[in-house]
Structure 1
Amino acid sequence: MCGIAGIFNQRADQTPDAQTLVNMAAIMHHRGPDGFGYEVMPDTGVGFSHARLSIIDLNEDRARQPFVSADQRLLLAHNGEFYDFKRIRADLTARGARFRSKSDSEIVLHLFEREGLDATLTQLRGEFAFALYDQQDDAMYLVRDRFGIKPLYYTETDDGVVFGSELKVLFAHPKVKREFSSEGLYHQLIQVMVPGSTAFAGIRQVAPGQVVKIERRDGQLQISEHQYWDVNFPLEQEYPGDDVDEQSYIDGVRKHLLEAVQLRLTADVPVGCYLSGGIDSCAILGLSAAATQTSVKAFTIGFDSAEYDETPIAEEMAAATGADHHIMRLNADDLYDHFVKTIWHTERTIYNTLGVAKYLMSQQVHAANYKVVLTGEGSDELFAGYPAFRKDMFLHGLDHLPESERKSWQELLEKNNKLFKGAMLAREEFVSPAFNAKMGFTPSCVQPWLSCADVALPLIAADRRAEVAEYDPGKAIADTLDETMLRGRHPLDRAQYVWIKTMLEGQILTWGGDRVDMANSMEARPAFLDHHLAEYAFTVPPHLRIKGNKEKYVLREAMKGLLPEVLYKREKFAFMAPPAHTDPKKWQAVVKLADQFLSEEAVQEAGLLDFAAVQETFAKHEDENTAIEEKVQLDAVINHMLGVQILHHHFIKTDVPALAAQRAKELGWKSC
């Protein structure tokens, strides 16, 4: 894993500044502390840079990026991992390819030369983001993996296009504007973002499974987008009927997951596992221990709230597998003490301090001299593990059930999801006309955030509020969804599709994944998001994903022999940190941060929020008559208010180009 950056100018005779490229690499030193490289291709207006975290091929001189092809035609900068690369290398070598390194990254150059980009992408398996410039066609390709595990941003300046693994990398370029968009601000306050967007004006993300092509024509850069992969469930009528062979699906899930885990154990450094008390991470640890036949290092986050702490089950699983178990126990005030630093890395607001907890955990992984861990992210998305999926299955996918069974389902949902009301589940049913028109109903996963709009809008400063007065955030999100992937699908499939396109990419894989892991030079490998496994999981009938009141049924059965009995029988519990209202000490830590970032002076300086509305929000949170469910929602909103102010402090008030230059100087990174 690494960080990449680059510049593609409109004019070929406009050579990118080499030191700017080095500075862009330096500001993401945390992504690649093991070395850096840069290349400026003569007479092209193109230059790339790279910060390296060495995991495969530890020889820095041999594996240094960016890579240039032997004929000087291609320039490549890659972040991530390609699995099964040894087989591909062997095949390419037999066809005449000559490799200069043992790095997995280099296969892209040789595949592209021989087969073109489309055929190359079908063979790439893993989590990745890369930039490839082809001098022959005078075109650059920005490519992101199928689920968006690895980040990649780009923007246009007066001179051309600037790209990088993080927003701060773009901001290190002196010609990149650093300002909020009013729509971006609005979405930061309601948590859910428009796919492909950011909080900042003019800055885009390459979407998951997408290629952004930038080509130079007559001194102008033309930008186009192409979706090379998407989440494609079968049509509803294509699923087998009641006589389905259940065991074949159980065996198929086990087979594909084991293969995904085995591939992700490939590294030239030790590989550990994240371990919570859930089925997902326990399955990953169990399979890893069985595949390696060694004691695997397992890392667990423990909270000081019994309602949210999962360490007892994690300890049972670690003991069963003989894991070397490390538990990080967090107290109430630990999380907000590190909130500001976490936002520097997430580059977006967070509704729950789980992101801070994972930032602190990656510190401990790094301190234990581990660079790689396997994680359980993606399982809930594939096998319908979240409370929102069960709710949508009940409301829209079980019309055939008798009323008595539907009533028992409803009671079960109400009983078991109390902790999530106001956060992962809406306090009250919310309907988005745009979603209803697009897919027949408003998915439960977006309802809690879209329902925050009435709370968030008054918080926005008056001039910016006027700019979004007629803006419909639900419509903006729904408009990005591919209707052909929704039409004719089962309601559960439609709900999972929306979650994967919004919350998985915009939350779980960013502030709950790559950004807080790589903050401490630690690579996370989510085996469940192997696209071969995913494509198989999409074929599992909905009633085998949620069977009766059991979510992730087919996965439970596939992993039954590995799991402690209490976990096999346990209902899904979403992994979250205790919200601020649950602990007076934690709330005081919030107030302390607010004194700094939400003071009248700080709010007026940033020009993003309405100070009177900020005060009213805090007063309502502290009112003992405010219902708990509403406090859960207000906890999230207050985190978002703090977040936008901290983002302003980090990326607008701070001179980021100067900071990047200073970072490069301190590291001794300079252009030749």
Structure 2
Amino acid sequence: MCGIAGIFNRDASQAPQAQTLVNMAAIMHHRGPDGFGYHVMPNTGVGFSHARLSIIDLNEDRARQPFLNKSGNLLLAHNGEFYDFKRIRADLTAQGARFHSKSDSEIVLHLFERVGLERTLSELRGEFAFALYDQTDDAMYLVRDRFGIKPLYYVETDDGVVFGSELKVLFAHPSVKREFSSEGLYHQLIQVMVPGSTAFAGVKQVAPGHVVKIQRQNGKLTLSEDKYWDVNFPQAHEYPGDDVDETQYIEGVRKHLLEAVQHRLTADVPVGCYLSGGIDSCAILGLSAAATQTSVKAFTIGFDSDEYDETPIAQEMAEATGADHHIMRLNADDLYDHFVKTIWHTERTIYNTLGVAKYLMSQQVNQVGYKVVLTGEGSDELFAGYPAFRKDMFLHGLDHLPDSERKAWQELLEKNNKLFKGAMLAREEFVSPAFNAKMGFTPSCVQPWLSCGEIALPLIAKARREKLTDYDAGKAIAETLDETMLKGRHPLDRAQYVWIKTMLEGQILTWGGDRVDMANSMEARPAFLDHHLAEYAFTVPPHLRIKGNKEKYVLREAMKGLLPETLYKREKFAFMAPPAHTDPKKWQAVLKLAEQFLSKEAVEEAGLLDFEAVQTTFARHESEAVSIDEKVQLDAVINHMLGVQILHHHFVKTDVPQLAQQRANELGWHA
């Protein structure tokens, strides 16, 4: 697990500056503190760099990237892990391949030479992002894993294309502009982003399951994007009926999840587990302990609020598996004390301080000498665990139920969704005409964020707000969704598809995943997002994902023997940090940050927000007339306001190229 960076100039005779490549690696030293490398290919205008976190093959000289193939026409920089690579290496060796290192990364070069990119991608299993330059074709490929677990950004400059694992890596290049787009600013304030976009003008992400090809011809660069994988549910009519034997699906989920966990235990360093009180992380810990037959190190976040704290059940699971249990207990004021530093790493706003808690947890994982943990992310996406899915199942997938059963469902939803309203569920129903036209309804997962538009738009500075007069955020997001993956699908499948394409990639795997994990040189491996497991999970009938009042039913049954009884019977819990309004100390910490970043002087200097509207929002939050649901929503909006101002401070106001050079000097990283 590492960080990658590179430059592809239009003019082949214009060699990238070696020190610039080194600076780009240095500014993401947190992603790869164990060493760095760079390579400029002569007469190509191409150069890559790499910051390494050594997990597979700890020999720094042998495994240093970027990698060149033997003939010198292929250049590779890779971030992430390829699983099952030993089998692939053995097969390639039998075909005559000779490996320079024991790294999993090197298989890409040998596969590409023999079978081309399309077949190479079909062989790769894991979480990854890589850049591959082919001198023979004079083309560079930017590739991202199927779910977008690993980040990869790129931008066109006057000279060519710059790419990197983080935005700050791009901004370390002196030719890359650092300015918000009005649309990007708006989406930061409403939480949900347009897939493939960022807050910054011209800066894009490689979409999950996609390849961006940059081809040079006659001194011009042409960019094209192709999809190599997608979330492909069966047609609704292809599912078996309610009388299907569920045993086959229970056994199938168990088999595929165990295989995914076993692959992710592969490392040349110790591997631990994140452990909350949910069935996802508990299942991962249970399977890891069984597969290794050792005491697994388990890490848990504890909050000082009984409504949000899951440590009692986590402790029960840790005891049941004999885990070496490490609990990090957080107080109300811990989270906002580290808010600014967390935003430096997330590079986008966050609605809830869970991202800060995850940042602090990865810090503790690092301090006790661990580099790798298995996590439970992805389970809710595959097996319909979120409250939004139950709501959509009830509204759009259970039309056949008699009135008495529908009433029972309605009462259950009202009872279970109190903690989520205003954040993960909308306070009131919100309809997006664009979503309705695209998929028949507006998914519950995007409603709370799209409904923030009426609050967010007045917050934007007048000059920028005027540019958004006719902007439709729902339409912008809906247009990125592949209609062929929605047409004819069950309503629950459509809802899950939208979540995976928006909230999973743009939130859970960024500010809740890679960015706050790698901030402290810690690699997270989400076993549920193994694509072999995912492709099997897509075949599980909707009524076995949500059965009666049990979300993730098939997973519960598959893991029944591992889970404590209280957890097996427990309903979905809100794994969020307590919102600011729930604790006076936390609210005071918010106000302290606001004094610095949302003062009249700071707001006017940035030119992003309207100061009077900012003041009105705070006054509204402190009004006794405001309901708890609205306070939850306003908590999120205030976090976003702070976030955009902090982003401006970090990446616009700060001279990032100069900061990158300073980091390189401090590290002694020189070309």
TM-score category by the smaller chain? over 0.9
Report the Cα distance in structure 2 between the residues aligned to 1:411 and 1:243, rounded to whole angstroms: 26
Find the counterpart in structure 2 of residue 662 from structure 1.
662
Find the counterpart in structure 1 of residue 547 from structure 2.
547
Find the counterpart in structure 1 of residue 20 from structure 2.
20
What is the 5 A alignment of 1:430-445?
430-445=430-445
Which amino acid is 1:493 matched to?
Answer: D
Find the counterpart in structure 1 of residue 416 from structure 2.
416
What is the 5 A alignment of 1:441-590?
441-590=441-590
TM-score of the pair, normalised by structure 1? 1.00
Report the Cα distance in structure 1 between the residues aligned to 2:396 and 2:8, rounded to whole angstroms: 48
Which amino acid is 2:589 matched to?
Answer: A
1:154-199 superposed Cα distances (whole Å, 9 cap, x missing partner): 0000000000000000000000000000000000000000000000
Mark the runs of 5 or more structure 2 residues left unpaired by the alignment: none
Q: Aligned to 2:30, what secondary structure does the other structure show?
A: helix
Contact 1:355–1:511 (CA under 8 A) maintained in structure 2: yes
What is the 5 A alignment of 1:173-184?
173-184=173-184
Q: Aligned to 2:665, what secondary structure does the other structure show?
A: helix
Find the counterpart in structure 2 of residue 156 from structure 1.
156
1:19-42 superposed Cα distances (whole Å, 9 cap, x missing partner): 000000000000000000000000
Contact 1:31–1:51 (CA under 8 A) maintained in structure 2: yes
Find the counterpart in structure 1 of residue 86 from structure 2.
86
Contact 2:600–2:611 (CA under 8 A) maintained in structure 1: yes
Find the counterpart in structure 2 of residue 116 from structure 1.
116
Shift of 1:625: 1.3
1:411-446 superposed Cα distances (whole Å, 9 cap, x missing partner): 110011101100000000000000000000000000
Find the counterpart in structure 2 of residue 95 from structure 1.
95
Contact 1:344–1:647 (CA under 8 A) maintained in structure 2: yes
Report the Cα distance in structure 2 between the residues aligned to 1:56 and 1:157, rounded to whole angstroms: 35
Report the Cα distance in structure 1 between the residues aligned to 2:220 and 2:351, rounded to whole angstroms: 41
Find the counterpart in structure 2 of residue 332 from structure 1.
332
Contact 2:242–2:543 (CA under 8 A) maintained in structure 1: no
Find the counterpart in structure 2 of residue 225 from structure 1.
225
Contact 2:187–2:193 (CA under 8 A) maintained in structure 1: yes
1:293-320 superposed Cα distances (whole Å, 9 cap, x missing partner): 0000000000000000000000000000
Q: Runs (4+) of structure 1 moved beyond 6 Å?
A: none
What is the 5 A alignment of 1:258-273?
258-273=258-273
What is the 5 A alignment of 1:17-416?
17-416=17-416
Shift of 1:609: 0.1
Find the counterpart in structure 1 of residue 641 from structure 2.
641
Which amino acid is 1:603 matched to?
Answer: V
1:373-402 superposed Cα distances (whole Å, 9 cap, x missing partner): 000000000000000000000000000000
Find the counterpart in structure 2 of residue 605 from structure 1.
605
Report the Cα distance in structure 2 between the residues aligned to 1:449 and 1:437, rounded to whole angstroms: 19
Shift of 1:243: 2.4
Report the Cα distance in structure 1 between the residues aligned to 2:279 and 2:667, rounded to whole angstroms: 42
**Aligned-residue identity in percent:** 88
Which amino acid is 1:510 matched to?
Answer: T
Shift of 1:241: 1.2
1:441-482 superposed Cα distances (whole Å, 9 cap, x missing partner): 000000000000000000000000000111000000000000
Q: Aligned to 2:419, what secondary structure does the other structure show?
A: helix
Shift of 1:543: 0.1
1:328-349 superposed Cα distances (whole Å, 9 cap, x missing partner): 0000000000000000000000
Shift of 1:574: 2.7
Q: Aligned to 1:333, what secondary structure does the other structure show?
A: helix
Shift of 1:245: 1.5
TM-score of the pair, normalised by structure 2? 1.00
1:227-277 superposed Cα distances (whole Å, 9 cap, x missing partner): 000000000000011221100000000000000000000000000000000
RMSD (CA atoms): 0.3
1:82-135 superposed Cα distances (whole Å, 9 cap, x missing partner): 000000000000000000000000000000000000000000000000000000
Shift of 1:487: 0.1
Which amino acid is 1:116 matched to?
Answer: G
Report the Cα distance in structure 2 between the residues aligned to 1:218 and 1:197, rounded to whole angstroms: 29
Which amino acid is 1:24 matched to?
Answer: M
Mark the runs of 5 or more structure 1 residues left unpaired by the alignment: none
Which amino acid is 1:356 matched to?
Answer: V
Report the Cα distance in structure 1 between the residues aligned to 2:366 and 2:292, rounded to whole angstroms: 22
Q: Aligned to 2:56, what secondary structure does the other structure show?
A: coil
1:493-537 superposed Cα distances (whole Å, 9 cap, x missing partner): 000000000000000000000000000000000000000000000
Contact 1:386–1:574 (CA under 8 A) maintained in structure 2: no
